[in-house]
Amino acid sequence: MSRYLVTGAAGFIGSHLCEALEAQGDEAVALDCFTDYYDPALKEQNAAGRAVVRADLAEADLAPLLEGIDGVFHLAGQPGVRSFGDAFPIYLRRNLLASQRLFEAAGTAGVRVVFASSSSIYGEAEGYPTREDAAPRPISPYGITKLGCEHLARACELAFGLDAICLRYFTVYGPRQRPDMAFTRILTALAEGSAFELFGDGSASRGFTYVGDAVAATIAAMQRGPQGAIFNVGGGAEATMREAIATCEQVAGRPLDLQLRASAKGDVSRTAADTARIREALGWEARTGLEAGLQAQWSWVSAKVGRR
């Protein structure tokens, strides 16, 4: 049995990761700051029944948290590409500063870290599907801070011997997805019979990754990934927002009241992951198609709306 520290453990992906680790017989030491980026009560629901260390990585004493730990899954951070203006200092603190402190502490302690980065580091990518060696061109402050964290991991490898692997997640969805993310908003609107605001004309395309597939890749990276590796974690489906909405309507069995709005700053027109590197190195590939994944998320959303 291994003992892992999971940061961001009360979040969307983190809560699923804790469950998967425990299901395979490992111990998940859950840590979360319960920030108010979205309603902390939803994070409390994600963490129900689990003891969670409440700590802010930007200021906590990290050495004691790493004692007896075999590896760290670093999923904590400030999400959301709409990160311009007054919000930017929050991204600096919760992404860059928090990660810099954790990377240095983990390097000093000799503990491996798997870091949750993002496809946002590519921005409007130079080619699709996008390979890990593509030039990063982030167009949101969020993407810039995630790329900065990757560079910090490399710097801490050289300075402190940090053993780190960076995973670039591509639009992860499924049960417990954050309330600000598109599929939760679409499916909630369908369950409530309310309107959904679509930013842009619906032609933007995304590589969608089911949360169970993302968790499997994350665990495989900890167990078998080579030090310093960077992997795309994506696949399962690519669809335009119009196509994705049609699949949501099919799953829900009802039409969506769609209202179009102007495109938002920081949104890219397409994401699509080349996953050859992670497939060859770890034997991982996404296995969940969009309809099956959305059916699972619809079951979660409709049950949640029904309990109100």
Same domain, 195 and 291: yes
Task: Please report, for the domain that includes residue 250, its CATH number.
Answer: 3.90.25.10
CB 77, CB 94: distance < 8 Å: yes
Pair 72, 196 in one domain: no
Q: Which of 142, 169, 173, 210 is catalytic?
A: 142
Q: How many domains does the chain have?
A: 2
Same domain, 34 and 163: yes
Domain contains 16: yes
142 is catalytic: yes
> pLDDT tens, 3-42?
999 999 999 999 999 999 999 999 999 999 999 999 999 9
Mean pLDDT, rounded, for 223-237: 96
Is residue 215 domain-shared with residue 82, that is, in the same domain? yes
One domain, residues 120 and 183: no
**Would residue 308 count as lying in a domain?**
no
Q: What is the pTM of this model?
A: 0.96
CA 176 to chain centre: 12
Alpha helices in the chain (DSSP H): 12-23, 40-46, 88-91, 98-109, 141-160, 182-192, 211-224, 241-252, 276-282, 290-306
Quick check: is 305 in a domain?
Answer: no
- The per-residue pLDDT for 166 is 98
Specify burial of residue 253 (Cβ count, 10 A radius: 0-12, 13-18, 19+).
exposed
Average pLDDT (278-289) is 97
Question: Could you list the residue range(s) of the whole structural domain that residue 201 is in?
Answer: 178-206+237-271+287-300
On whether both 121 and 226 belong to a single domain, the answer is: yes
CATH number for the domain spanning 219: value is: 3.40.50.720
Claim to verify: residue 167 and residue 186 sit in the same structural domain: no
In the chain, % of residues over pLDDT 90: 94
